Structure 1
Amino acid sequence: MSLLLGMILDGVFGEPRVVWDRVPHPAVLMGRAVGWCDRRFNRGPARRLKGVALVAALVLGAVLLGWAIAELGWLAEVLAVAVLLAQKSLVDHVRAVATGLRMSLTEGRRAVAMIVGRDTAAMDAGAVARAAIESAAENFSDGVLAPVFWYLVAGLPGLLVYKITNTADSMIGYRTERHAAFGWAAARLDDLLNLVPARLTALLIAASHAQLGAWREIVADARRHRSPNAGWPEAAMARALGVALAGPRSYDGAMRDFAWVNPNGDRAPGPREIEAACTALWRVWAGLLGFAVLAVLF
């Protein structure tokens, strides 16, 4: 019941600014904690060992915090679930890219820069739309389905373990000179925790858009993706919308020649396809909500 109510609260209210303009969002607090640890411990010898110890400490802290919140009663657990999911806020951010593109390419670039980490200054309209759609698919897996999955597996402690791991991966899980060793454990644990949710996301997107007949092609595209997990929801979304995703893009001023996902799809989507991606997110969310209802009943 806590999961069901939490999903509904998040779907209706999202992240109300009247609250989070006054107090830090839990995701912000998690980020601050990881950032402090990065500055404090990511130095000297044995950085990989220090990174492993950090992840172990974060996981233990998340388990204890989840257990403590659950002990406060059902209302506290419902609110925690609602705060830690990101359905409405994700859709709002993705739809803002469509709105921006309708105004101008500059506004579209500005909006998409809020949700992606790649270079956006030289993007054309098609690249902006592709980036928004990719973000919609990947972040639904990371921000909605995976937290729901781990809540079903291990309750609020499981959800919090996933969120702190995902936050750590997003901050230190990079193969850069600074983070390759220290962030190794965070990146590997995040890959593991997303292994099943990413594939479930792809399955739900495909099933809700009559694309199960293209499952072999979705799997093939997902396996060509640079990420072991992100390619699954992206491949399914690409087939659902008839667009091509991924492909070459720039990071830190350097172009990277990534493989296309659904290469025969439309490589120049626009605001209409971004809106279709938002509709797809709500369709899959509704299916996930149905599963939550079944979990309560049975």
Structure 2
Amino acid sequence: MTAILLAAAMALDALAGEPRWLWARVPHPAVLMGLLVGALDRHWNAAPAQRAKGVAALVVLMSAGLLIGLVLSQLGGLVSIVIAAVLLAQKSLIQHVRAVADGLRLSDTAGRRAVAMIVSRDVSTAKPSSVSRSAIESLSENFSDGVIAPAFWFLVAGLPGIIVYKIVNTADSMIGYLTPRHAAFGWAAARIDDVLNWIPARLTAALIAGAGGSLRHWQEIVRDAALHRSPNAGWPEAAMAQALGIALAGPRSYDGQMQDLAWVNGDGRHTLGPADIDAAILIVWKAWGLALCAIVLIGGFSWVF
């Protein structure tokens, strides 16, 4: 039954996306999660014992997510479908990334402006290839943690699973950084986020490789994933790089500081453009379709047996 609810939620998200009329009137769940994380950060993130306080904050967040999920799951299947659809991000992800390709077709400045909406790195002087690369990387990573990971945890544990995942992921995006303020307090959020994304990241890589016809290059995907600074983000990026025959990652600027990061599929093509973004979007839609088919099959199998 859970798989059927998930399949319906994925279809609803793909069709409806993020209706602006709704979120202009009521706060999005992600906004509420962010407010809770921010409140804990403001009130608990102080010496002494910042790491212990960060662990306690994460326990509070996960417990709240679990409790809310358990309560909401008692309201019926339709409620579960709608909430799960809200917590998935396939259509909105595609829209944001397609805006980068559309922007680049107008001007370099328009492309930079669009990609700045979805990445944290400095793109103020980025060339079209760098803008395209950033968009494709964001698409690949966010397909994992914005679509496949929440879907996976819904399949495993229903609404409690997807809500706990999303609140941990939100915490990681806000406090899971190696900065003086958050290195200790955000340690637990970053570590648990890595754990929760471990399986989904590898599933995402397999889906992208299957959709892009690059499963035969799985050894190269495994090799390149290990070059990434993240234990999980490198997997979908490496799969996408192999599928398109392009180089991803590499040196980039954060907060005005150049970081000499390793290339993913460094032998691939380095000159990229909006057509490559379009190709990556098509692969992600195909990978989404593969995931949906697998979930429907799981649902059908569980229904019969």
Q: What is the deviation of 1:75? A: 1.0
Match of 2:261 in 1: 258
How many Å separate the matches in 2 of 1:149 and 1:4? 11
Give the secondary-structure state (helix, strand or coil) at the position aligned to 2:258. strand
2:70 is the alignment partner of 1:33: no
2:72 is the alignment partner of 1:69: yes
Match of 2:163 among 145, 160, 167: 160
Give the secondary-structure state (helix, strand or coil) at the position aligned to 2:226. helix
Which amino acid is 1:5 matched to? A
Which amino acid is 1:180 matched to? A
Match of 1:240 in 2: 243
How many Å separate the matches in 1 of 2:279 and 2:113? 20
2:20 is the alignment partner of 1:17: yes
How many Å separate the matches in 2 of 1:33 and 1:123? 35
Match of 2:279 in 1: 276
How many Å separate the matches in 1 of 2:215 and 2:78? 38
How many Å separate the matches in 1 of 2:207 and 2:78? 29
| 1:143-189 CA distance string (max 9 Å, x none) | 00001111111111111111000000000000010000000000000
| Matched pairs, number | 298
Which amino acid is 2:172 matched to? D
Q: What is the deviation of 1:242? A: 1.2
| 1:195-227 CA distance string (max 9 Å, x none) | 110011001111122211111111000001111
Q: What is the deviation of 1:44? A: 2.1
Give the secondary-structure state (helix, strand or coil) at the position aligned to 1:224. coil
| 1:64-113 CA distance string (max 9 Å, x none) | 11111110111110100100000000000000000000010001000000
| 1:19-63 CA distance string (max 9 Å, x none) | 111111101111111111111111120000000001011111111
Match of 1:119 in 2: 122
Match of 2:139 in 1: 136
Report percent identity of matched pairs.
Answer: 61
How many Å separate the matches in 2 of 1:234 and 1:124? 20
Give the secondary-structure state (helix, strand or coil) at the position aligned to 1:255. strand
Stretches of structure 2 lacking an aligned partner (at least 5 in a row): none
Match of 1:60 in 2: 63
2:186 is the alignment partner of 1:183: yes
2:198 is the alignment partner of 1:195: yes
Match of 2:175 in 1: 172
How many Å separate the matches in 2 of 1:79 and 1:206? 30
Give the secondary-structure state (helix, strand or coil) at the position aligned to 1:181. coil
2:253 is the alignment partner of 1:228: no
How many Å separate the matches in 2 of 1:174 and 1:21? 30
